[in-house]
Structure 1
Amino acid sequence: MRPDHYKKLTVPQFTVITGFLIIAFGTFILATPICSSSDVGLWEAFFTATSAVTVTGLSIIDIGRDLTIVGQIILATMLLIGGLGLMAITTFLQGFVVTGTELRCRLDRGKTLDEFGVGGVGRTFRGIALTAATLIIIGAIILYYFGFTDINNSAERFWASLFHSISAYNNAGFGLWSNSLQDYRTNGVVNTVIIMLIILGGLGWRVTSDIWSNRKSLKIRNLSLHTRLVIRTSFILIAIGTLGLMLTESIVNGNFFSGIDFQERFVSSLFESVSARTAGFTNIPISIETISDSGLLLLMTLMFIGASPGGTGGGIKTTTIAALMAATRTTLRGQNDVVIRNRQISDKVVLKAVGITVASLLFVLVMALLLSMTSGHGNSASFSFLEMLFTCVSAFATVGFDLGVTKQLGHFGQFVLVVGMFVGRLGILLLLSSIWQVINSGRLKHQTRVGYPHEDLYV
Structure 2
Amino acid sequence: MQSNFVKKAYAKATENPAIILSIGFFVLISIGGLILSTPYVTRNGKATGIIDAFFVAASASCVTGLTPVNTAYHWNSLGHVVIIILIQIGGLGIMSLATLIPLLLRKKIGLKSRQILKEQFNIDSLSGMINLFKYVLLFTILTEVLGAIFLAIRFVPQYGFGKGVWFSIFHSISAFCNAGFDILGDSIYPLRSDALVNTTIMLLVIIGGLGFMVTSEIYYRKNFQKLSTHSKLVILITIALILVGALGFYFLESIEGGVLEGEGFKGSIFESFFQSVVARTAGFYSVNLSKIKESTALLLICLMFIGGSPGSTAGGIKTTTFGVLVIATISVIKKEKEPIIFKRSISDQSIKKALSIFLISLAIVILVSFVISVTDGFKFIDILYETVSALATVGASRGITESLSNIGKVLIGLCMYLGRIGPMTMALAFGLKAEDKMIKYPEGMISLG
Structure 1 length normalisation: TM-score?
0.89
What letter corresponds to residue 424 of structure 2 in structure 1?
Answer: L
**Alpha-carbon deviation of 1:449?**
2.9
Which residue number in structure 2 is paired with residue 175 of structure 1?
A: 182
Which residue number in structure 2 is paired with residue 433 of structure 1?
A: 428
What letter corresponds to residue 192 of structure 2 in structure 1?
Answer: R
Task: Tell me whether 1:410 sits opposite 2:402 in the alignment.
Answer: no
Equivalent residue in structure 1 for 2:288, among 267, 271, 285 = 285
**Alpha-carbon deviation of 1:5?**
4.5
Which residue number in structure 1 is paired with residue 221 of structure 2?
A: 214
Equivalent residue in structure 1 for 2:446, among 432, 446, 457 = 457
Structure 1 residues 93 and 455, CA, compared in 2 at 3 Å: closer, same or farther? farther
Task: Tell me whether 1:68 sits opposite 2:72 in the alignment.
Answer: no
Which residue number in structure 1 is paired with residue 141 of structure 2?
A: 133
**Alpha-carbon deviation of 1:278?**
0.8
* CA distance, structure 1, for counterparts of residue 137 and residue 361 of structure 2: 29
Equivalent residue in structure 2 for 1:58, among 66, 69, 73 = 66
CA deviation string 1:282-329 (max 9, x = no partner) = 111110xx2111100110010000000111110000001110111011
Task: Tell me whether 1:193 sits opposite 2:197 in the alignment.
Answer: no
What letter corresponds to residue 161 of structure 2 in structure 1?
Answer: S
* CA distance, structure 2, for counterparts of residue 114 and residue 200 of structure 1: 15
Gaps of 5+ in 1: 376-381
Structure 1 residues 102 and 234, CA, compared in 2 at 3 Å: closer, same or farther? closer
| SS of residue paired to 1:148 | helix
Which residue number in structure 2 is paired with residue 385 of structure 1?
A: 380
What letter corresponds to residue 257 of structure 2 in structure 1?
Answer: G
Which residue number in structure 2 is paired with residue 378 of structure 1?
A: none
Contact 1:14 1:94 in 2 (8 A): no
* CA distance, structure 2, for counterparts of residue 76 and residue 106 of structure 1: 25
Equivalent residue in structure 2 for 1:14, among 20, 26, 46 = 20
| SS of residue paired to 2:41 | coil
**Alpha-carbon deviation of 1:6?**
3.0
**Alpha-carbon deviation of 1:361?**
0.6
Structure 1 residues 446 and 106, CA, compared in 2 at 3 Å: closer, same or farther? farther
Contact 1:39 1:66 in 2 (8 A): no
1:356-371 equivalences in 2 (<5 Å): 356-371=357-372
Which residue number in structure 1 is paired with residue 36 of structure 2?
A: 30
Task: Tell me whether 1:274 sits opposite 2:274 in the alignment.
Answer: no
1:289-368 equivalences in 2 (<5 Å): 290-368=291-369
CA deviation string 1:8-40 (max 9, x = no partner) = 212111221111111111111122233224152
| SS of residue paired to 1:267 | helix
**Alpha-carbon deviation of 1:121?**
4.2
What letter corresponds to residue 59 of structure 1 in structure 2?
Answer: T
Structure 1 residues 25 and 102, CA, compared in 2 at 3 Å: closer, same or farther? closer
Structure 1 residues 102 and 240, CA, compared in 2 at 3 Å: closer, same or farther? closer
Contact 1:76 1:163 in 2 (8 A): yes
**Alpha-carbon deviation of 1:86?**
3.3
Task: Tell me whether 1:82 sits opposite 2:77 in the alignment.
Answer: no
Aligned residue pairs: how many? 435
Contact 2:51 2:409 in 1 (8 A): no
**Alpha-carbon deviation of 1:200?**
0.3
Contact 1:85 1:118 in 2 (8 A): no
CA deviation string 1:339-374 (max 9, x = no partner) = 111101111001100110011111100010110110
* CA distance, structure 1, for counterparts of residue 349 and residue 91 of structure 2: 28
| SS of residue paired to 1:122 | helix
Contact 2:96 2:117 in 1 (8 A): no
* CA distance, structure 2, for counterparts of residue 208 and residue 352 of structure 1: 24
| SS of residue paired to 1:422 | helix
* CA distance, structure 2, for counterparts of residue 423 and residue 93 of structure 1: 27
Which residue number in structure 2 is paired with residue 227 of structure 1?
A: 231
**Alpha-carbon deviation of 1:335?**
1.4
Contact 1:40 1:61 in 2 (8 A): no
**Alpha-carbon deviation of 1:451?**
1.2
Gaps of 5+ in 2: none
**Alpha-carbon deviation of 1:448?**
3.0
Which residue number in structure 1 is paired with residue 151 of structure 2?
A: 143
* CA distance, structure 1, for counterparts of residue 75 and residue 228 of structure 2: 44
What letter corresponds to residue 338 of structure 1 in structure 2?
Answer: P
CA deviation string 1:27-68 (max 9, x = no partner) = 111222332241523222111000001000000112122212
What letter corresponds to residue 451 of structure 1 in structure 2?
Answer: K
**Alpha-carbon deviation of 1:107?**
8.6
* CA distance, structure 2, for counterparts of residue 261 and residue 276 of structure 1: 22
* CA distance, structure 2, for counterparts of residue 423 and residue 183 of structure 1: 32
Contact 1:52 1:82 in 2 (8 A): yes
**Alpha-carbon deviation of 1:112?**
3.0
Question: Which structure dedicates a bigger proportion of its chain to helix?
Answer: 2
What letter corresponds to residue 357 of structure 2 in structure 1?
Answer: I
* CA distance, structure 1, for counterparts of residue 371 and residue 445 of structure 2: 37
Contact 1:180 1:281 in 2 (8 A): yes
Structure 1 residues 47 and 167, CA, compared in 2 at 3 Å: closer, same or farther? same
Structure 1 residues 356 and 92, CA, compared in 2 at 3 Å: closer, same or farther? farther
Is 14-23 or 236-245 further displaced after alignment?
14-23
Which residue number in structure 2 is paired with residue 379 of structure 1?
A: none
Contact 1:87 1:116 in 2 (8 A): no
* CA distance, structure 2, for counterparts of residue 270 and residue 24 of structure 1: 36
What letter corresponds to residue 411 of structure 2 in structure 1?
Answer: V
What letter corresponds to residue 268 of structure 1 in structure 2?
Answer: E
**Alpha-carbon deviation of 1:244?**
0.4
